[in-house]
Structure 1
Amino acid sequence: MSIQKFIKPFVFLGLMANLSQAQEKTSYKFDFGPGKVAKGYTQILPNDAYSKEKGYGFDFDSKVEGIDYGRKNLLTSDLVKSNKPFYFSVAVPEGNYKITVTLGDPKGATLSTIKAESRRLMLEDVKITAGQSLTKTFIVNVKDKHIAGGQLVSLKPRELTKLDWDDKLTLEFDHQTALQALEITRVDDQVTVFLAGNSTVVNQDDEPWASWGQMIPRFFKPGVAIANHAESGLTLGSFLGSKRLAKVLSVMKPGDYLFIEFGHNDQKDKGPNDGAYKSYTERLKTFISEVKKKGGIPVVVTSTSRRSFGPDGKIVNSLGDFPAAARKVAGEEKVALIDLNAMTSTLFNALGEEPSKKAFVHYPANSYPGQDKALADNTHFNPYGAYEIAQCIILGIKEQKLGIAKYLVDDLPKFDPAKPDNPADWHWPESPKSSVVKPDGN
């Protein structure tokens, strides 16, 4: 048999695979509720559970009720809601997606918070009066582990069950949401902000853990997509070794950003060539140069401070030379620097030694299912702490005059790390899933 005959079947299979990928659906319009269906929309009833065959539906045993008010506007006269958070998933390929939700209840006021994938905050406390319907639009990044050329990101075991890495886009609606309609459309014109980091940056799946990377989508209008590739326990070296930088570079466009925050776990590298001014500095420069080669914009972020108070009741630096090394690299390479270490030190000092526990995972026993012991973690944040630190990042974006600042939301909260929000006044509808397992890293 000639070599041409041998390879023909594989060429054909390759063409079929490419055709299959091209035919993957990237646009949907859903009308929720039992009433008549608006033209051009697919009706979603309360019992429409997700299946791979269908490719969309309510997920994770969500229970919703459908209500039809029989009004003239077919899109807004019916809806679904629940007395618990509920999930809706759609199978889509990797990319950035514009999500448009129509919310409201003709007979009652609602207050909606919407998260995406692994508890990324997209919309916060959207108030809608009775009889009003409101349309909101935001951008969700969907990623997968495949890298051009047949390589794969080396995922940790815990990541294999994360919503961030599965084959669908999942939206989480809190228990006060009345959902009338949903549109999903892939968009290729967004500036993508990639995040590289550790457990202080990653999208944490479970309550009460949270990180700043999952909070910052809330602060951006369409025009910017946040692609969080951080993972707990990682260093600059293990981010490289698990092919995460290769993954980011494989999908990065000129004008995209990479925010780089490492240090907590890099401290534990004790080889002869390790240290803040050795391997850490060299690898940080590698990240920067590789991003620049792609036409991207690197941003160095110093590590978040730990909750480490000294005898004088003030935060002490527990990260050694790593924040200073990051500042030095940013200066030498002439790239933007967000000094998160300095801002979080100011933030925790402003809160005070005991009150600052409200920003971290400090909870008495039995606060969450299966938690028979108190949680006391001075590195990892709860949702309030993650939200405050995300606002530090936003402040840094403004101070550094980064181009993405023009995409910040119009209702951007005023923020000063020296005057943090009162945790008692901050509202976070908890997600159903919780864990007492501490994330990797320290």
Structure 2
Amino acid sequence: MKRIFVSTFLLVVSLVLTKAQTFKFDFSSNKETPEGFIKITPESLFNNALGYGYDFQQPAWDGKSNKPFFFSVNVPDGNYKVTVAIGSKNSAGSTTVRGESRRLFIENLDTRKGELRTETFTINKRNTVIKGNKKVKIKAREKGKPNWDDKLTFEFNGDAPRISSLVIEKVDDVPTVFLCGNSTVVDNDREPWASWGQMITRFFDEKVCIANHAESGLSANSFIYGFRLEKVLSQMKKGDYLLVEFGHNDQKQKGPGKGAYYSFAYYIKQFIDETRMRGGYPVLVTPTRRRQYDKDGKIKDTHEDYPAAIREIAAREGIPVIDLQDMTKVLCEAMGQEESKHLYVHYPARTYPGQNRELKDNTHFNPFGAYEVAKCVIEGMKKAELPIIKNLRADYKGFDPAKPDKYEDFKWNLSPFSEVVKPDGN
């Protein structure tokens, strides 16, 4: 009888959570739980019947441990305003909050013993379903990634992560910035890989939501043929934005009808037209530079006609262009040939588990490089006078790629998971 009661209770809780628009969780050590909140204990482990709990087989948080931990809740697709009370009455803390596949939201927030600081941000959640039985054609490497499941997942990291409460509320009235692109944009869920799409979330307040649909190895046409654009359009509303960065993989396509001013321009036009049909604002982004220097210490042009074609399409269509091709050139040349390794995945052997060989990748960024390039994107948004720049966080002070941040000053607590295989594309 007891077993039947427990099963029935879990089913009721799961159904309530699935239909709810607001989810409230209490992580504090207080004996009394605030009205409307669900008390979270070390025994609150995620399963689909319960619909929430500590996740990814990491140790459940006991309120004292300084190790990172994950917490997930099943929610429908959409944008969610998150309000998190950071801190503890029992100890000081330093907390970083990331969401889904390592999207950065709250960075190294220090709290004194007994201090609680309330922070808010908006996060996008999606799964592969478009409509009915139609789904996004994801790659094998994407299966199991937090970005594509039915859960909204949070990673609480930092020197001493401390949280007291978590409130998740569905919102439909904030502009969404959809990102379409390749491995230089994608949310990487494993160290040491990172891209600007998962760092730019750090710099906007809760009145803007970033939805990153980029994936490694994709070109403009494979993004469309994989139904990824269709998935984006199924969630797009009037006033949303679409940022499109391709070129890295497109330039490898050879043959009749291929090329920057031919097939590529044709596919990019589809992104523009489909966005405009829905009342959205398309923005083109030129590809980031590869770390390849000439004998004079200048960054090489390796993208052929693609950056010029993107600028020409943007001018013809009367839409903004964010010129990462130029800004990342300035960034890399300002740092110099040796120091610029700190932007990309360059690590000696045995830096990460299972890494038996040196990592030398001159295309894909590490967290510091992704952070710097995200700032370049924001400066491009400012130059284009996109209205959403009014929603930059107050602590964003501006950025000049000719005067990059110091690598030594960048603090990044590693996520528990790493991978030595580089993302698709080059």
Match in the other structure for 2:11: none
Distance in 1 separating the partners of 2:95 and 2:184: 26
Match in the other structure for 1:4: none
Match status 1:222 vs 2:217: no
Distance in 2 separating the partners of 1:51 and 1:64: 13
Match in the other structure for 2:141: 158
Distance in 1 separating the partners of 2:43 and 2:235: 37
Q: Which moved more, 1:174-183 or 1:93-102?
A: 174-183
Distance in 1 separating the partners of 2:83 and 2:331: 35
Superposition pairs of residues 260-275 of structure 1, within 5 angstroms? 260-275=244-259
Match in the other structure for 1:16: none
Deviation at 1:197, TM superposition (A): 0.1
Match in the other structure for 2:374: 390
Deviation at 1:23, TM superposition (A): 5.8
Match in the other structure for 2:51: 55
Tell me, what secondary structure is at the counterpart of 2:180? strand
Deviation at 1:149, TM superposition (A): 5.3
Structure 2 unaligned spans of 5+: 1-14
Distance in 2 separating the partners of 1:23 and 1:438: 36
Match status 1:30 vs 2:14: no
The answer to whether the 8 Å contact 2:67/2:161 transfers is no
Match in the other structure for 1:8: none
What do the CA deviations read for 1:193-225 (whole angstroms, capped 9, x no partner)?
Answer: 000000000000110000000001111101111
| Alpha-carbon distance change, 231 to 81 in structure 1, aligned in 2, over 3 angstroms | farther
The answer to whether the 8 Å contact 2:176/2:209 transfers is yes
Distance in 1 separating the partners of 2:313 and 2:20: 43
What do the CA deviations read for 1:381-420 (whole angstroms, capped 9, x no partner)?
Answer: 0000000000000111111110111111111133110000
Tell me, what secondary structure is at the counterpart of 1:398? helix
Tell me, what secondary structure is at the counterpart of 1:239? helix
Deviation at 1:38, TM superposition (A): 1.8
The answer to whether the 8 Å contact 2:250/2:264 transfers is yes
Deviation at 1:45, TM superposition (A): 0.6
TM-score for both structures, normalised by structure 2: 0.94
Deviation at 1:130, TM superposition (A): 2.4
Identity %: 51
Distance in 2 separating the partners of 1:65 and 1:339: 43
What do the CA deviations read for 1:22-41 (whole angstroms, capped 9, x no partner)?
Answer: 96233211111442212221
1:102 to 64, 73, 85: 85
Letter in 2 for 1:324: A
The answer to whether the 8 Å contact 1:306/1:318 transfers is yes
Match status 1:377 vs 2:373: no
Tell me, what secondary structure is at the counterpart of 2:19? coil
TM-score for both structures, normalised by structure 1: 0.91
Distance in 2 separating the partners of 1:52 and 1:105: 29
Deviation at 1:145, TM superposition (A): 1.1
Distance in 2 separating the partners of 1:148 and 1:294: 18
2:175 to 166, 182, 191: 191
Superposition pairs of residues 289-300 of structure 1, within 5 angstroms? 289-300=273-284
The answer to whether the 8 Å contact 2:98/2:105 transfers is yes
The answer to whether the 8 Å contact 2:28/2:88 transfers is no
Distance in 1 separating the partners of 2:225 and 2:61: 47
Distance in 2 separating the partners of 1:248 and 1:143: 10
Distance in 2 separating the partners of 1:102 and 1:169: 18
Q: Which moved more, 1:130-139 or 1:226-235?
A: 130-139
Tell me, what secondary structure is at the counterpart of 2:261? coil
Deviation at 1:271, TM superposition (A): 2.1
2:154 to 149, 155, 171: 171
Distance in 1 separating the partners of 2:233 and 2:16: 21
| Alpha-carbon distance change, 338 to 81 in structure 1, aligned in 2, over 3 angstroms | farther
What do the CA deviations read for 1:288-347 (whole angstroms, capped 9, x no partner)?
Answer: 111111111000000000001111011111111100110000000000110011000000
Match in the other structure for 1:427: 411
Superposition pairs of residues 31-430 of structure 1, within 5 angstroms? 31-34=26-29, 35-66=31-62, 80-148=63-131, 150-175=133-158, 176-430=160-414
Letter in 2 for 1:45: T
Q: Which moved more, 1:407-416 or 1:141-150?
A: 141-150
Deviation at 1:81, TM superposition (A): 4.2
The answer to whether the 8 Å contact 2:17/2:75 transfers is no
Tell me, what secondary structure is at the counterpart of 2:143? helix
| Alpha-carbon distance change, 344 to 174 in structure 1, aligned in 2, over 3 angstroms | same
Distance in 1 separating the partners of 2:110 and 2:296: 43
The answer to whether the 8 Å contact 1:350/1:420 transfers is yes
Deviation at 1:148, TM superposition (A): 2.9
Match in the other structure for 1:439: 423
Match in the other structure for 2:3: none
The answer to whether the 8 Å contact 2:17/2:51 transfers is no
Deviation at 1:183, TM superposition (A): 0.5
Distance in 2 separating the partners of 1:346 and 1:399: 16
Larger radius of gyration: 1
Match in the other structure for 2:10: none
The answer to whether the 8 Å contact 1:255/1:295 transfers is yes
Deviation at 1:132, TM superposition (A): 1.1
Superposed CA RMSD in Å reads 1.4
Tell me, what secondary structure is at the counterpart of 2:50? coil
Distance in 2 separating the partners of 1:261 and 1:114: 26
Deviation at 1:107, TM superposition (A): 4.0
The answer to whether the 8 Å contact 2:17/2:23 transfers is no
The answer to whether the 8 Å contact 1:26/1:93 transfers is no
**Following TM superposition, where does structure 1 have runs of at least 4 consecutive aligned residues deviating by more than 3 angstroms?**
20-23
The answer to whether the 8 Å contact 1:63/1:82 transfers is no
